[in-house]
Amino acid sequence: MSVKVAVIGCGRIAGHHCRSIQEISGVELTAVCDLVLEKAEVYAKEFGVPSYSDYREMLDRHPEITIVAVVTPSGMHYEHTMEILRAYGKHVVVEKPTFMKPSQVKEAYTAAATAGVQIFPVFQNRHNLAVRRLKQGIEAGELGQPRIISVRVRWCRPQRYYDLAPWRGTYAQDGGALTNQGIHHVDLLRFLGGEVRRVNSVMRTYGAAIEVEDTAISSIEFKNGAVGVLEVTTAARPVDYEASISFVCENGLAQLGGIAVNELQVYSPSPSECRAHSEDFSGCVYGNGHRLLYKEIVEFFESGKAFSVTPSDCLLTIELLNAFYQSDERKEWVVVGEGDESLRLGRSDEALANLYRTARR
């Protein structure tokens, strides 16, 4: 019996979800939905499923749906997820950055537990061969204790990118370079480097007329004694240059790079393994991680295998994300997970949210 998935939100990444579902046995696409019906119809035609502009109608007509993939603007993830959990009792796949605020993570997981269903956050780069090999090496002690961990994301997002939709470049719905483009590196900081104790951030907007940051710099202190630096920008011109994370450790050095941390560029304990643990993502910047995510989901339903991103795991990443913003707001070091949430990230904007809400009939 296949796990049946419906997709809400039919932007570019939704197509990758649909193709990933198609490639994995034990899961099938049931329906697609977007407020702009023409967008849903493109994927409906490609994948041979019905399309809808109202997700409530879709869920009412297809009670067989097991999971809803929420691929709407970032600031709408929480609202859409909560309704699906509470009103329909469906499992939910949530695209990055899952939710904008730690309180939303807590509330959503509480609602999921009450409904007896699961939330599957999307941090697909954890599945990359390069990331998995580095994780294995760190856990096996091949590199020894980490000392310096550095993130560098130097990408280009010109004004025309932010002009594509009203939600882009806003704190309410997007979150800027760190939340939209840098979220996977934020997640990998703690997934590979260990939990972060505190951060000291500075954010700027250089390359576009937007309210959010397109540049974030931060010093980082880890609980294990390591220190780090984060540099994320979408103000590089005229193209994307680099997206990497490196580890200077007591026994050697490792660096992940490529389009989406898909290349093991340096691994001093065993340099010959770099090529074998690198993947070519030139055909698709999203890589293979979504396909492996849905494979994980099938295993969850078929064998009860625990999903790799736990509730606490998701919460810690969103707490770290918020801490970077809090530090810039306060102009001081911020201890991760302590104190209030960011004043800007995910703030309320009802007029903007109404553009992405489905009116009740």
For residues 107 and 138, membership in a common domain is answered with: no
Residues 79-85 have a mean pLDDT of 98
The answer to the question of residue 88 being in a domain is yes
pLDDT band at residue 201 under the 50/70/90 scheme: very high
Beta strand residue intervals within the chain, DSSP E: 3-8, 27-33, 51-52, 67-70, 91-94, 119-121, 146-154, 196-204, 215-222, 227-233, 242-249, 252-257, 263-267, 334-335
For residues 225 and 317, membership in a common domain is answered with: yes
The answer to the question of residue 348 being in a domain is no
Structure tokens at 238: 């005229």
Structure tokens at 151: 């993130």
pLDDT band at residue 28 under the 50/70/90 scheme: very high
For residues 239 and 261, membership in a common domain is answered with: yes
Task: Look at residues 99, 123, 147 and tell me which one is the last residue of a structural domain.
Answer: 123
For residues 188 and 56, membership in a common domain is answered with: no
Residues 93-111 have a mean pLDDT of 98
Query: Which pLDDT score is estimated for 80?
Result: 98
For residues 250 and 144, membership in a common domain is answered with: yes
pLDDT band at residue 287 under the 50/70/90 scheme: confident
Residues 241-254 have a mean pLDDT of 96
Let me know the angle formed at the C-alpha of 263 by 189 and 195, rounded to the nearest 5 degrees. Answer: 10
The answer to the question of residue 114 being in a domain is yes
pLDDT band at residue 279 under the 50/70/90 scheme: very high
Domain, as residue range, for 209? 125-281+307-335
Residue type, 307: F
pLDDT tens for 212-239 read 999 999 999 999 999 999 999 999 999 9
Structure tokens at 284: 């698709």
Looking at the predicted structure, is the pLDDT value of residue 144 above 80?
A: yes
How far is the C-alpha of 322 from the C-alpha of 68, rounded, in Å? 26
For residues 106 and 225, membership in a common domain is answered with: no
CA 219 from centroid of its chain's CA atoms: 22
The answer to the question of residue 358 being in a domain is no
* Counted domains in the chain: 2
Mean pLDDT of the chain: 97
Q: Are 274 and 265 in contact (CB under 8 A)?
A: yes
State the CATH number of the domain containing residue 60: 3.40.50.720
Query: Which pLDDT score is estimated for 185?
Result: 97
Q: Helix H segments across 140-211?
A: 159-162, 176, 183-193
